Amino acid sequence: MAASNEGADEPPAWYLNLRAQPMAEIELDGQGQTVRSREATPTDRARIYPRFIAGKAAYAEYERMTDRPIPVVVLEPR
């Protein structure tokens, strides 16, 4: 997940919530699943973020609109 907040200078609330409480419940293919979130390492982010841009070009614009680095959040099954 990219915490872009559509290029705003403040990160989205969901990102702040996951930083405060990394355990979460998500629904994937209609099934509930417990996950632990973590921010991608710089190396992982460099590999993952271009996939967001490839899927939706607006992510490149979001990056240009803000001075903050846009975090990538990794969800790991628990």
* 34-47 tens-digit pLDDT: 999 999 999 999 99
Mean pLDDT, rounded, of the chain: 96
Whole-number pLDDT of residue 74: 97
pTM above 0.85, yes or no: yes
Question: Each residue of 32-50: b (16+ CB within 10 Å) or e?
Answer: eeebebebbeeeebeebbe
Whole-number pLDDT of residue 30: 95
How many other CB atoms sit within 10 Å of the CB of residue 1? 17
Whole-number pLDDT of residue 51: 96
Whole-number pLDDT of residue 8: 98
- CATH label of the domain that carries residue 16: 2.30.110.10
Range of the domain at 50: 5-77
Q: Give the number of domains in the chain.
A: 1
Whole-number pLDDT of residue 62: 97
Average pLDDT over residues 46-56: 96
Sign of CA dihedral 67, 55, 12, 43: negative
